[in-house]
Amino acid sequence: MADKEFTVLDLLDLDLKGHNSLDLHCVCGRKGLVRSIKNPDINRPGLALSGFFDSFAFQRVQLFGRGEVAYLQKLFSENNTDTVRQFFSYETPCCVFTHDLDVPEDFIAFAEEAGCAVLSTDLESTEFSTRLLRVFSNIFAPKRTIHGVLVEVFGVGIILIGDSGVGKSETALELIERGHRLVADDIVELRCVNGNTVLGQGANKIISHHMEVRGLGIINVEQLYGVGAIREQKEVQLVVKLEEWDVNKVYDRLGTAELNMELLGVKIPMLEIPVKPGRNVPIIVETAAMNERLKSMGYHSARDFNQNVLKWIESGEAQNAYYGGDDSY
């Protein structure tokens, strides 16, 4: 659910551009703009207008297309307003008329009396429904914040996590220098969309493209490297945990052990990268990104290596190499 109450006025005030724009404006019932939208879905009220109110999904945004408007005009021409009056007895969030259709005057009168906002858009019903559901999936998506740095490396969204001072920002800065892009530094807001996709962005859009580098201070990545060095949001496809090198810990040297980190119920592949002087962590992260892309294309380097070794052993060549050597030394 959304972090705060989402109202009809919030829906009108959304700053959406291009193919995401809803093109909404209020026709009447401005008192109802404060009503909350609690259900991220849409209802076509044809059955309700015909008098069937069993299981009426009044908690949803009510969508009126050409069919519903034609039926409304028929009802009003016959002076049959009982079902419309009953419709407005339910506290629906709002009514939306698509195709830029004219809202019947009688319907406006009922809406004003009930304090229900009536909105209008020039979009077709199907297109508007698709866009609105996409908006709702973002607004009502489960959210959480995480301490880390989110970068895009070779098209792969990677979130760098680890203890404070381990070198997350410095690694991200080197990646930006090498032509990759910063999404957010320090505090990353994560949203689970469609149940299986985790999107990350800056928790504060005003400062999300600033970085804190110890000894240097706060830098503005957009101003230093240009708009090509940043992006607003990115799907999290890999988690890289940076940690101080521990001589007592056994690190994966083959890549066959697959670790995962659960974020908002979605398992994301994770790598543990030990950090110590002399290790070029940005190059390791770049290699991890390319390797992750290969995995998504169906090629797993570690598994392929393992299979080749097994085939080599089974072929007998390994035994010949071991027993057939010159023992004179």
Catalytic site residues? 147, 168, 186, 253
Which helix H or strand E contains 113, and what residues bound it?
helix 105-114
d(CA 146, CA 129): 32
Q: What are phi and psi of 270, to 5 degrees?
A: -135, 140
The amino acid at 91: E
CA distance readout (Å), 178 to 85, 152, 170, 218, 276: 64, 12, 12, 20, 21
Whose structure tokens read 């009056």? 85
DSSP string, 24-49: -EEEE-GGGGG-B--S--EE-THHHH
**Pairing mode, if any, of strands 94-97 and 61-64?**
parallel
DSSP string, 168-192: HHHHHHHHHHTT-EEEEEEEEEEEE
Are 188 and 200 in contact by the 8 Å Cβ rule? The answer is yes
d(CA 109, CA 92): 16
Q: What are phi and psi of 298, to 5 degrees?
A: 100, 5
